[in-house]
Amino acid sequence: MSSENDDDLFFREMGDVKPINVEKKVSLKKDSSSELAKQARREAAAQVIQKDANHLSSDHVELLDPFYPLEYKRPGVQHGVFRKLKQGKYGQDARLDLHRMTVEQARKEVFEFIKESTRYDLRTVLIVHGKGSHGNNNQALLKSYINKWLPELDDVQAFCSSQSQHGGLGAVYVLLGKSEKKKQENRDRFNRGRTVAGD
């Protein structure tokens, strides 16, 4: 049998055969695929940045006595201002209650609360952490973490345990620094109506 006959035989046998159509499981255009990949990378990067923004640590903390009064002030905070803070003479612009929160939940809430309070130019806020004197160690634990976390936040200028009507040893007054906007407003108010000598 010649090769020509073999070819004829092959084509005759295969004449009715049609290619099988295989449906594509996933159809992606090259452009949309790379766009999706870029978007996924952007979102992942944003999550990392957001995660890293909160530098407060929930690692080991030295436990405080439930009746230990909290007190802290940065250098530069006037004694009179700190005394008024301790006496509860500043109104609280906002309040955060940490009761029944885990340490991790409290860590996130405290960080966001202070950042948001600063964003809205609030000066004095109250954080209720509990004393832990009712057999709930979680509250004593939160008090200890508050004492650790607040000095680590640059916006916090001072804090101290509150007066009894605001929670006593189970809460803290927190004094926040003035934003640049507020500082400028104060300068403008101070200089308003003043004239230069000789005018």
CB neighbour burial string for 39-55, b if at least 16 within 10 angstroms, e if fewer: eeeeeeeeeeeeeeeee
Identify the residue with better confidence: 95 or 38: 95
CATH number of the domain at 71-178, out of 3.30.230.10, 3.30.1370.110, 3.40.50.150, 1.20.1050.10? 3.30.1370.110
pLDDT at 8 over 90: no
Identify the residue with better confidence: 65 or 12: 65
pTM across the whole model: 0.66
Dist CA 9 CA 3 (whole Å): 10
What are the residue ranges spanned by the domains of the chain?
Answer: 71-178
Closest CA to 141 of 105, 95, 174, 96: 105
CB count within 10 Å of CB 134 equals 10
The pair of three-digit structure tokens given for residue 165, joined into one six-digit string: 């009507």
**How does pLDDT run across 92-124, given as a tens digit for each residue?**
999 999 999 999 999 999 999 999 999 999 999
- As a dihedral over the C-alpha atoms of residue 160, residue 164, residue 166, residue 171, rounded to 10 degrees, the angle is 40
Rounded mean pLDDT, 19-48: 64
Within the chain, residue ranges assigned H as helices are 3-14, 30-53, 79-86, 103-119, 137-149, 180-191
Residue 125: per-residue pLDDT: 98
**How does pLDDT run across 141-188, given as a tens digit for each residue?**
999 999 999 999 999 999 999 999 999 999 999 999 987 776 677 677
Residue 54: per-residue pLDDT: 84
CB neighbour burial string for 95-122, b if at least 16 within 10 angstroms, e if fewer: ebebeebeeeebbeebbebbeebbeeeb
Residue 95: per-residue pLDDT: 97
Tell me the DSSP string of 166-186.
Answer: GTGGGEEEEEEPPPHHHHHHH
pLDDT at 198 over 70: no
For residues 86 and 72, the answer to whether their CB atoms sit within 8 Å is no
**How does pLDDT run across 49-83, given as a tens digit for each residue?**
555 588 888 888 889 999 999 999 999 999 999 99
Instruction: Say which residue the tokens 């690692």 belong to.
Output: 59
